[in-house]
Amino acid sequence: MPEQNGGSRKEGATDVPEGVSGGLFGGVFTRGGPVADDAAWLRAMLAVEAGLVRALEHAGLAPAGAGAAVTAAAARAGDFDIAELSLSSALTGNPVPGLARALTRLVDDPAARAAVHQGATSQDIMDSAAMLLARDAIDAALADLSRAAAAAARLADAHRGSLMIGRTLLQQAVPVTFGVVAAGWLAGLDAAIGGLVSVRDTRLAAQFGGAAGTLASLGADGPRVKALFARELSLADPPLPWHTERLRIIDIATAMARVTATLGKVARDVTLLAQTEVGEVCEGTGTSVTDASSSVPRRGGSSAMPNKNNPVAAVAILGCARQVPGLLATLVASAEQEHQRAAGAWHAEWQPLSHLLDLTVSVGAWARDLLENLQVDTARMAANLAAAGGFPLAERVTALLRDALGAPRAHDVVANAAGRAASSGVPLRDVLLALPELDDTGVTAAEIEQALEPSAYLGASDTFITAALNAHHAG
């Protein structure tokens, strides 16, 4: 049988490690395996065609045994030549007519053969197959995302008191804890997971409408066959065909985009915190791509600089996530479809949706790797905070002086003190204690010292961490 994915293996080729798909870019963009490549589409379309014949048999419109016969033929995906189907799609505008003919040839029973594709049109098969692929992608992503969320929860709880500098607009701000940072990651992950679950449970539906959405060729049996067809595919039976109402596709894509956006934020935080000059986190090695004897570079290595330890998982997540907004935009733009069958807009969905499904699964796999193996350097966090010289606590000192000096003047006094400290290299504490304005405020040196203590200015951080963890465990 012809090879379906890139031809035969070269002599001496190494095995692809677990969790990494084939293809030149597969290790980055389809980590965990492609869920919507040519072979997956073929299997899904064959499953839909077989499900239709079983539905027809249950409805009494196909002979007994027809469903089993077609299902057996459809299970022989290796007997279908994807290159041949590609050529046939150039004649018909999609691969389904060629697929239906090829499937029919593989069915031995003439009576069962006549039931193949009965009542359906190409879009019924493609759209229903897309729903099966989306379900597979969601399930695959959820498996990894659930583990990523559990890892984020562990980080949040373990680092409740791990002090670090908060950063706004990429500049040092007030102190935070790494626990509250991880809790923010967790909350985003839980929301993204909830969106995927909602789409899987409420928006995946079979599409079966026939030539123009009326199932006219099946007469009065059409609605019953539609319901049986949906049952065979374990998909929802919608009130009516949705062939030109594309909100289901948009909902799937949006849920996927929410996942990649959420994890893009996590990955960006990691790349910033892992910078050499910051060094507050680094990626663990996770699963090695090759063993120590291999000539392939180690995880995180550079082709030019042997000293490098690049944040590969975070970079891969960002590489996947950056592609998603354009794919989502294409799918939204494709929702404008003419009359009862789109002239090009439906066709424009296939590749963007496929890429989106694969990228989301890949992001989930990388996120699990990233968060389960993330190494947190609390000593470096403390050192960076101490090296800030008290500046992150300027807001608290301003609040301490506000009653005595008034808000505007207190702000200006502390701002001027911070400027002098920065320009002179003198600690902010010393500059503040030497301010003549303090003489009339009644504020003591001990109160200034207390105001400059980072651990006493964390606000509701611990409460927020607990709330995120409670919500996670309740979900």
**303 has catalytic annotation:** no
256 class by beta-carbon count within 10 Å (0-12 exposed, 13-18 middle, 19+ buried): buried
**Chain segment 385-417, per-residue pLDDT in tens:** 999 889 999 999 999 999 888 999 999 999 999
The full DSSP string for 351-408 is HHHHHHHHHHHHHHHHHHHHHHS-EE-HHHHHHHHHHTTTGGGHHHHHHHHHHHH-HH
What's the pLDDT at 402? 92
- Domains (range + CATH), the chain: 136-206+239-291+305-383 (1.20.200.10), 384-474 (1.10.40.30)
What's the pLDDT at 437? 83
User: In this structure, are residues 316 and 310 in contact, taking their beta carbons and an 8 Å threshold?
Assistant: no
Whole-angstrom distance between the N-terminal and C-terminal Cα of the chain?
A: 47
Report the distance separating Cα 88 and Cα 98, nearest Å. Answer: 6
Run of H or E including 74: helix 66-74
What's the pLDDT at 301? 53
**Chain segment 39-88, per-residue pLDDT in tens:** 999 999 999 999 999 999 999 999 999 999 999 999 999 999 999 999 99
What's the pLDDT at 290? 43
What's the pLDDT at 26? 86
Q: How many helices (H) and strands (E) does the chain have?
A: 19, 4
User: In this structure, are residues 183 and 462 in contact, taking their beta carbons and an 8 Å threshold?
Assistant: no
What's the pLDDT at 460? 97
Report the distance separating Cα 114 and Cα 428, nearest Å. Answer: 86
Report residue 280 as tokens. Answer: 């507050």
Report residue 159 as tokens. Answer: 């680092």
**Where on the phi/psi map is residue 408: left (φ > 0), alpha (ψ -120 to 50), or beta?**
alpha
Report residue 407 as tokens. Answer: 């808000």
Residues of the chain short of pLDDT 70, as ranges, are 1-22, 286-308
What's the pLDDT at 286? 53
Q: Which is the catalytic residue, given 167, 231, 268, 341?
A: 341
Q: What residue type is assigned to position 184 of the chain?
A: G
370 Cβ partners below 8 Å, 6+ apart? 148, 266, 267, 270, 283, 286, 313, 314, 317
What's the pLDDT at 32? 79
Q: Which is the catalytic residue, given 302, 322, 424, 455?
A: 302
Q: SS3 for 76?
A: coil
Alpha helices in 119-239, H assignment, sequence order? 122-158, 178-202, 222-232
**302 has catalytic annotation:** yes
pTM above 0.85, yes or no: yes
Report the distance separating Cα 346 and Cα 213, nearest Å. Answer: 15
